[in-house]
Amino acid sequence: MIFRSPIHVLGVGSLGKLFAHSLRKCYPALPITLLFHRPSLLEEWKQAGQAIEVVRDGKSEKLDGFEYEGINDGKGEIRNLICATKTYGTVPAMEPLKHRLGPSSSILFLQNGIGTIDEVNSQIFKQASLRPHYFAGIVNHGVYQTAPFTCVHASVVDVTIGPILDKGINNQPASPLIESILGCSILAGSLVTSEGLFYIQMKKLVINAIINPLSAIFDVQNGQVFDSPTISALIKPLAAEISAVIQAIIQYKGLTPTADVATLFTVEGLEAVVRQIGVKVAKNSSSMRQDMRNGRRTEIDYINAYIVTQGRSLGIDCPLNSKLVGLVRDKRLLAESEAV
């Protein structure tokens, strides 16, 4: 039997639950600890019978045997951490765990948007030599939550994982965390280089930067972003700003994309990708629209605001992206004041 190193899961939203459940199913003896960052989670966990339920193809499967602790309560080193919190919740959730994480730890970030790792570095692990090894995963599985510890694995797809280029080191040492995830057939993981990961992250960023704010501001399903002449007229000018920023980042990082990758990041390439994905997710409500409708904070700061900030530091103006950031923030403020 292969010895597998214990895994902690921070953030038990739909992705955290899917990963914990899949790993438990693939490795029944693997110690998996759920880290609760809200006191109410403990109560919900008890009500759920201390088990995670996943519904797939209409069949429900409840798995138990997880360990759990509040983020302020645990002790001991954390070797392997899956971080599936919302982008803006990452630093506050990780702060109480920082003394348990170090250079022999690996963290896999599973998040929409980009920029969290810069915040973790500047606010938590300031000294580069003491940082854990960072990986990020782009999850293509479709999963949504129906109760605090129940989720539906609606589309079984895959996850792409790659090391984050940090400390100037490109080749991370093999990580037991990543090996366990790659060996778990349900998650269907594949490993790419940090450069490959960066391109995939940028592609996802473009999709989220166009579909999410437009669907949230106009309060429409994803498909309407492409079907409505008024909304779809904004796709090309947005793609133009984002293409300029991504190309500048590629140049700044000294990357050498293949011809196919370079074509993907042209205005026409980005427009085509967004439209292609738009057809697949036409019937969905974007995560930003759902956040807005449920009065939750959106991830705009890690999507369009990230593009605006990166653009600014590279001398590229992004007025349309800036406008969308302002509109999403204003709409949320309005919803908050109406709720008072």
| Closer to ligand KPL by Cβ: residue 105 or 212 | 212
C-alpha–C-alpha distance, residues 185 and 14, integer Å = 18
* 8 Å CB contact between 328 and 217: yes
| Closer to ligand KPL by Cβ: residue 106 or 112 | 112
* 8 Å CB contact between 41 and 217: no
* 8 Å CB contact between 257 and 250: yes
Question: Which 256-285 positions form the footprint of ligand KPL (CB under 6 A)?
Answer: 277, 281, 284
| Closer to ligand KPL by Cβ: residue 53 or 301 | 301
Confirm or reject binding of residue 212 to ligand KPL (CB under 6 A): yes
How many residues form the binding site for ligand KPL (CB under 6 A)?
11
* 8 Å CB contact between 53 and 150: yes
Neighbours of 118 (CB within 10 A): 11
Question: In the structure encoding, which two tokens stand for residue 232, read together?
Answer: 């779809």
Neighbours of 335 (CB within 10 A): 13
**In angstroms, what is the minimal distance from the CB of 138 to ligand KPL?**
10
Confirm or reject binding of residue 208 to ligand KPL (CB under 6 A): yes
- Centroid of chain to Cα 198: 13
Exposed (0-12), middle (13-18) or buried (19+): which is 286, by Cβ within 10 Å?
A: buried
Query: Which position among 52, 81, 207, 249 is part of the footprint of ligand KPL (CB under 6 A)?
Result: 207
Query: Which position among 14, 111, 180, 287 is part of the footprint of ligand KPL (CB under 6 A)?
Result: 287
C-alpha–C-alpha distance, residues 235 and 230, integer Å = 10
User: Near ligand KPL by CB under 6 A, which window of 7-15, 93-101, 151-159, 204-212?
Assistant: 204-212
| Closer to ligand KPL by Cβ: residue 97 or 281 | 281
Question: In the structure encoding, which two tokens stand for residue 166, read together?
Answer: 């940090």
C-alpha–C-alpha distance, residues 193 and 198, integer Å = 9
* 8 Å CB contact between 175 and 210: no
* 8 Å CB contact between 16 and 10: yes
Confirm or reject binding of residue 105 to ligand KPL (CB under 6 A): no
| Closer to ligand KPL by Cβ: residue 160 or 284 | 284
**In angstroms, what is the minimal distance from the CB of 176 to ligand KPL?**
29
| Closer to ligand KPL by Cβ: residue 9 or 300 | 300
User: Near ligand KPL by CB under 6 A, which window of 151-159, 203-211, 260-268, 317-325?
Assistant: 203-211
| Closer to ligand KPL by Cβ: residue 49 or 295 | 295
Confirm or reject binding of residue 222 to ligand KPL (CB under 6 A): yes
**In angstroms, what is the minimal distance from the CB of 160 to ligand KPL?**
14
| Closer to ligand KPL by Cβ: residue 175 or 284 | 284
Confirm or reject binding of residue 112 to ligand KPL (CB under 6 A): yes
**In angstroms, what is the minimal distance from the CB of 289 to ligand KPL?**
8
Q: Are strands 150-155 and 142-147 parallel, antiparallel or unpaired?
A: antiparallel
Q: 330: which strand partners?
A: none
| Closer to ligand KPL by Cβ: residue 207 or 273 | 207
* 8 Å CB contact between 274 and 256: no
**In angstroms, what is the minimal distance from the CB of 204 to ligand KPL?**
7
**In angstroms, what is the minimal distance from the CB of 154 to ligand KPL?**
12
Neighbours of 190 (CB within 10 A): 11
Question: Which 14-53 positions form the footprint of ligand KPL (CB under 6 A)?
Answer: none
Residue numbers at the binding site for ligand KPL (CB under 6 A): 112, 207-208, 211-212, 222, 277, 281, 284, 286-287
